Amino acid sequence: MSASTSGSLTGLRVVEISTSVAGPFVGQILGDLGAEVIKVERIGSGDDTRAWAPPDWDGKSIAFLHLNRNKRSIELDYKHPRGKEILTELIVGADVLVQNLRPGALAKAGFTPEVLREVNPRLVYCDMTGFGRTGPKAEDPAYDPLLQAYTGIIDMMSTGDGPPRRVPLSVLDKGTAMWAVIGILDALRRRDRTGEGSHVGVSLLETAITWVHANVMGALAGNGKPRNLGSGHAGVVPYGAFPTSDGWIFLSAGNQTLWLRFCRATGAEELTTRDGFGSNPERAANRAEVERAVGEVTRGFTTEKLLHVLAEAGVPCSPVNSVPDMVRDEQVKALGLVEPMEHPAVKDFAVVNLPITIDGDYPDHQCPPPELGADTDAVLELLGVPEPERDALRAEGVVGGGRA
């Protein structure tokens, strides 16, 4: 690992006992910000995402690769008495502990919040769950799509045509990770003031309810279930994806001026005087008719031509890109958000930077995603475990990983 990074968390140690998406994403963000992150993994298999393939990159799971840079990996059986001692030593020297195991699993292994506070009163302990800290489902396991279903997100996606569809991204896992990092940073500031650590709690359920906040308030106000508008917007028309002669374009006429610009730029001035099209409230009331008329206009252009015409008129618009289109996009390239990184087993490896710049620069990186147990010896040496004992621990199955 690099001796120095630009991150403000340089000098802090994080122990991450997590798998899948939410917990590893927390560790990666903290590592991006400069923290030393030690990832504790199951012997032999490690983080579940190591086996989530396809897709893969030179045989390595992309699910793991995109969530685990800037970490050291130790294979450790902390249910073994000596393994428990090693994990305790790691926690004693840590500033932050992050875990997203099944509710109660870490406590069952002897690491309750009370024990953690006793062994390290300055520890910031981040506990990530599916359904939150209390209630009838507090002990239930959870995954992102399950909580999308539970909180109405999948229902919001329904078009009534075919089976329900989820948002095909880990929006709740990664959102929960972001809240976790915010909570951890707040707890570290509190520790600066009080000298004491805190127990930070986040859950996928609470994140999901936060994302549907406006709809929650609508329900409280007595409104019914929100209509599915596809790519549209409840309060703005036209707003959404419209067909061209060779594809699709996303149009955002967010105010009356932009609506008028759209009509003039496309030669559709007639729409400005059509009954029911005059103001945004009128257009919202006649949504289907307006969207049909706008679609007839946009179909008269190729995507490239319409993008040019609307850009010249100052109307916000975008092609409906695929992800490969986006990766090749000149704006994305100009930002340098995708950055090459050397990896011992992946040719031409690259990562997506933390989407934050400080004085114009993305945070420095410390190392690529680690091979399983690659740093076991280095971490044990950090704890003062001599080489003969490290070999004995490996022989007993307390730790895994090859010799450093």
Give catalytic residues, as residue numbers.
173
Give the other-Cβ count within 10 Å of 254's Cβ.
15
Burial track 88-104 (b if 16+ CB lie within 10 A, e otherwise): bbbbeebbbbbbbbebe
The dihedrals phi and psi of 127, each to the nearest 5 degrees, come to: -110, 115
Burial (Cβ within 10 Å: 0-12, 13-18, ≥19) of residue 395? exposed
Q: How would you label 220-241 residue by residue, b for 16+ Cβ within 10 Å and e otherwise?
A: eeeeeeeeeeeebeeebbbbbb
Q: Return all residues near 388 (Cβ < 8 A) that are at least 6 apart.
A: none
**Non-local CB neighbours of 103 within 8 Å, separated by 6+ positions:** 129, 130, 138, 139, 140, 141
